Structure 1
Amino acid sequence: MTIEEKLAELGIILPDAPAPAANYVPYVQSGNLVYVSGQISTDDAGSLITGKLGDGLETSEGAAAAKRCAINLLAQVRAACGGDLNRLERVVKLTGFVNSTADFIEQPQVINGASDFLVEVLGNAGRHARSAVSAAALPLGVAVEIEGIFQIR
């Protein structure tokens, strides 16, 4: 089954790759690695998923926001691959930032929303190294931002 077929089976439609909001590029390819800039949490309609974990947002809501970041990461990888997502060989590393209070300690469970989704879609090729860190604030008040490194062919 292709990656696009697996996404369709899961009912996931990748959005167009989001454009950068400032003076940077959405991804850089170096050799067979694609470095994708941080993707912020947005819903199916492209509206921001905002809030702070530990102050109004539950861990499960943060995990859902992280999954949306992973969907946006895949959209960027598809763009980097000229529209052919099957050129994706593996997820190498994710760095997840969680907008959270000082006493919130479930950042790994939040970023699991992205990690679990990528493994569900890609199998073993979705397994990756990862960091999950707290941030006092994120751009535009979003709940989660995730950047990634991907190996392509």
Structure 2
Amino acid sequence: MSVESRLADLGLTLPEAPAPAANYVPFVVVGNLVHISGQISQNEAGLIKGKLGADLSIEQGADAARRCALSLLAQLKRACDGDLSRVVRAVKLVGFVNSSPDFIDQPKVINGASDLMVAVLGDAGRHARSAVSAASLPLGVAVEIEALFEIR
């Protein structure tokens, strides 16, 4: 089953690949690896802001992470000239969670992105991962995730 078919079956649509907010590029292709810059949590209504452990629940954080994953896939699609069949596998996700000092469930938040990668890419979506806390994130967003993918 194609990535596009899996997205459709899940009722998901990729957003437009977000433009960089500063002096960097959204992705860099080196050989068969695509390094995707951090994608911040946002949806159709705008930025998903807040601090886990203070303003947002784990479920809200996981949804914010899913939104980051959709933006990662949108950037990946651009890097693959619109052809997601070129994706071999997700290699690594690095997730940053805007957290209160006592919040310890960063992995549960980033599971929102990890679960989406597996749902969309199947076994090729299984990846290495880091899930870390941040005192704050750009623009006050709840989650930011960067990724590395292998393509053909």
- The TM-score bracket by the shorter chain reads over 0.9
Match of 1:27 in 2: 27
Within a 5 Å distance, the mapping from 1:86-97 to structure 2 comes to 86-97=85-96
Q: 2:46 aligned with 1:63, yes or no?
A: no
Deviation at 1:46, TM superposition (A): 5.5
Q: Which runs of 4+ in 1 moved over 6 A?
A: none
Q: Give the counterpart letter for 2:151 in structure 1.
A: I
Match of 1:85 in 2: 84
Match of 1:18 in 2: 18
Deviations 1:60-98 (A, max 9, x none): 100000000000000000000000111111000000000
Counting aligned pairs with the same residue, the percent is: 67
Gaps of 5+ in 1: none
Query: How far apart in 1 are the matches of 2:35 and 2:124?
Result: 16
Q: How many residues align?
A: 152
Q: Give the counterpart letter for 2:16 in structure 1.
A: D
Query: How far apart in 1 are the matches of 2:121 and 2:95?
Result: 19
Q: Give the counterpart letter for 1:97 in structure 2.
A: F
- The TM-score normalised by the length of structure 2 is 0.99
Partner-residue secondary structure (3-state), 1:137: coil
Query: How far apart in 2 are the matches of 1:54 and 1:148?
Result: 25
Gaps of 5+ in 2: none
